[in-house]
Amino acid sequence: MKTPEERQTAWIDDALSPEERAAFEAGQPDLSALQAEKVAAQQLRSLLQKTFVPATLASPDFFNHGIMEAIAKEEAATAKPSNAGRGLPWFLQIGRLAWAGVALMAVAALLTANMIPFGESGPSFDAQAQVEEMKVAEPGGVSAVAFYATSSDLTVLWIDGMEYVPASHALN
Amino acid sequence: MFASHPLVNPDLEENELVARSQRGDHAAFNELVIRYRHKAYAMIYNMVRNEQDAWDLAQEGFIRAWKSLPRFKGDSAFFTWLYRIMTNAAIDWMRKKQVAGFKEFDDRVAELEADPTSVLVPKAVEAPEKQMRNREIGERIQAAINQLSPEHRAVILLKEVEQLQYNEIAESVGCSIGTVMSRLFYARKKLQVQLKDLYENT
């Protein structure tokens, strides 16, 4: 406590030791004025405590839910890029390559069997393929299209937008 | 009702809950929120005086606390540390909001406006006689509080309403104990000047 303001505040709040208090009071030319300050501070405290009564938090469970949900979302958002980036485990990277390779080979096979004409009776893709789009509930916008060529009895699964293969589906 | 957050033993010591939270245990942190949500909300509400803003700020404060938990060393009580986050959030909000009638308040201005040697002797405040009178008093006090800077408002409310000690306020606001006492001195003076007629008429 250095400044007069600090010492007076401590005196008003009864935060001085007996020695400090005695020294402070001894240095005051008008102790009654100081007593009046103390009364004023007490009045103010009383008014503030009457005005600022503790507010009640409505729907406390929902309050918690919002916090925990926000934390979970942020953690999911920060975790995803690291899995898809350079820190990806080696087996997931291999799995990713394998998936891409399988998809490319399947597309090549499909093109060979259906898109390249083999004479007049060769089946056309449009006529003999069934196309179905599967919607995947993945925030990253992954979509998948399955082609089934009846002539060659071949199914192709084309996955678009997949940045990584879930660990449960990784090739080991 | 919100069963997605697994429960932890509510009898766990705070230190254990903090340690678990620091290791990423959501359930432990959920329990900490349960323990302190009412106090945190009430403290922020007193500063911002708006339920929705207080709700949002308290939630943001807890989320900030979760992110900062790895840096919490336990040098102070967890709640004091949490209070600091909440207080900072409220002060930031008040600065941005620039509430009506607000003007920048610093100690130099305060020294000019509130003469430390002045003596304000309020007449005895009698028990409020009527509800309307109480409401009027409340509005006057709120208006006077709004004239304080966010920092002075925080200090006076933490001291007089939350009844924190100087060191706890210093920890919460992030300043020295001397600064707390100085701010208290000038905030009180300022309020007493603003509320002088209220004292005299009650």
A96 lies in the same domain as A164: yes
- pLDDT exceeds cutoff 60 at B15: yes
Q: How confident is the model at residue A10 (pLDDT cuts 50, 70, 90)?
A: very high
Q: Which amino acid, B42?
A: A
A79 lies in the same domain as A94: no
A162 lies in the same domain as A93: yes
Specify the CATH number of the domain B14-97: 1.10.1740.10
A104 lies in the same domain as A154: yes
Q: Nearest Cα to B166, choosing from A25, A17, A20, A9?
A: A9
Question: Residue A106 burial by CB count (10 A; 0-12/13-18/19+): exposed, middle or buried?
Answer: middle
Whether the CB of A6 is below 8 Å from some CB of chain B: the reply is yes
**CA–CA gap between residue B192 and residue B173 (Å, rounded):** 23
Question: Closest approach of chain B CAs to the CA of A117, in angstroms?
Answer: 57
- pLDDT exceeds cutoff 80 at B131: no
Task: Give yes or no for a contact between B194 and B144, defined as CB atoms under 8 angstroms apart.
Answer: yes
Whether the CB of B192 is below 8 Å from some CB of chain A: the reply is yes
**CA–CA gap between residue B14 and residue B35 (Å, rounded):** 9
Domain B107-201 has CATH 3.90.1300.10: no
Q: Mind listing the pLDDT tens digit for each residue in A71-109? A: 999 888 887 665 544 555 555 566 666 777 777 888 788
What is the percent of chain B with per-residue pLDDT over 70, rounded to a whole number? 76
A22 lies in the same domain as A81: no
Q: Read off the pLDDT of each residue in B74-92 and give the average, rounded to a whole number.
A: 91
Tell me the two tokens of residue B116.
Answer: 């430390």
The pLDDT, as a whole number, for residue A171 is 58
**Closest residue, chain B, to A43 (C-alpha):** B125
HSE of A46, CA atoms in CB hemisphere, 13 A: 14
The pLDDT, as a whole number, for residue B122 is 46
Task: Give yes or no for a contact between B168 and B83, defined as CB atoms under 8 angstroms apart.
Answer: yes
A77 lies in the same domain as A113: no
pTM metric for this prediction: 0.63
Q: Mind listing the pLDDT tens digit for each residue in B90-113? A: 999 998 876 444 444 334 334 434
**CA–CA gap between residue B159 and residue B162 (Å, rounded):** 6
The pLDDT, as a whole number, for residue B165 is 93
Q: A140 in a domain, yes or no?
A: yes
Domain ranges of chain B: 14-97, 107-201
Q: Mind listing the pLDDT tens digit for each residue in B167-176? A: 999 999 999 9
Output the average pLDDT for chain A: 74
Q: A150 in a domain, yes or no?
A: yes
A8 lies in the same domain as A41: yes
Q: How confident is the model at residue A131 (pLDDT cuts 50, 70, 90)?
A: very low
Q: Which residue has the higher pLDDT, B186 or B131?
A: B186
The pLDDT, as a whole number, for residue B114 is 46
Output the average pLDDT for chain B: 82
Q: Which amino acid, B83?
A: Y
**Dihedral class, residue A69 (left if φ above 0, else alpha if ψ from -120 to 50, else beta):** alpha
Q: How many domains, chain A?
A: 3
Q: A105 in a domain, yes or no?
A: yes
The pLDDT, as a whole number, for residue B60 is 96
Q: A31 in a domain, yes or no?
A: yes
Q: Which residue has the higher pLDDT, A126 or B134?
A: B134
The pLDDT, as a whole number, for residue B154 is 94
Helix axes B78-97, B26-48, angle to 10 degrees: 40
The pLDDT, as a whole number, for residue A116 is 59
Structure ipTM: 0.74
Nearest CB to B137; choose among A47, A54, A66: A47
Whether the CB of A70 is below 8 Å from some CB of chain B: the reply is yes
Q: A57 in a domain, yes or no?
A: no
Look at the block and give the residue holding tokens 């339920």: B51
The B residues from 23 to 62 touching A (CB cutoff 8 Å) are: 26, 29-30, 33-34, 37-38, 41-42, 45-46, 51, 54-55, 58-59, 62
Q: How confident is the model at residue A12 (pLDDT cuts 50, 70, 90)?
A: very high
Q: A58 in a domain, yes or no?
A: no
Q: A56 in a domain, yes or no?
A: no
Q: A124 in a domain, yes or no?
A: yes
Tell me the two tokens of residue A83.
Answer: 């899995």
- pLDDT exceeds cutoff 70 at A137: no
A110 lies in the same domain as A45: no
Q: Which residue has the higher pLDDT, B85 or B99?
A: B85
Other C-beta atoms closer than 10 Å to the C-beta of A55 total 16
A128 lies in the same domain as A160: yes
The beta strands (E) that lie in A77-168 are given as 129-135, 143-149, 154-160
A78 lies in the same domain as A113: no
Exposed e or buried b per residue across B182-199, where buried means at least 16 C-beta atoms within 10 angstroms of its C-beta: bbbbbbbbbbbebbeebb
Q: Read off the pLDDT of each residue in A24-48 and give the average, rounded to a whole number.
A: 90
Segment among A87-96, A121-130, B61-70 with least mean pLDDT: A121-130
**CA–CA gap between residue A162 and residue B8 (Å, rounded):** 37
A106 lies in the same domain as A154: yes
The pLDDT, as a whole number, for residue A114 is 64
Partners of A130 in the β-ladder: A148
Asked if A54 and B42 come within 8 Å (Cβ–Cβ), the reply is yes
Question: Residue B50 burial by CB count (10 A; 0-12/13-18/19+): exposed, middle or buried?
Answer: middle
Q: Which residue has the higher pLDDT, B54 or A145?
A: B54
The pLDDT, as a whole number, for residue A57 is 92
Highest mean pLDDT among A82-96, A99-113, A123-137, B121-135 belongs to A99-113
Q: Which residue has the higher pLDDT, A154 or A61?
A: A61
Question: Closest approach of chain B CAs to the CA of A55, in angstroms?
Answer: 5
Task: Give yes or no for a contact between A152 and A114, defined as CB atoms under 8 angstroms apart.
Answer: yes
Q: Read off the pLDDT of each residue in A59-68 and give the average, rounded to a whole number.
A: 94
A11 lies in the same domain as A75: no
**Closest residue, chain B, to A52 (C-alpha):** B46
A148: containing domain = 89-169
**CA–CA gap between residue A129 and residue A124 (Å, rounded):** 8
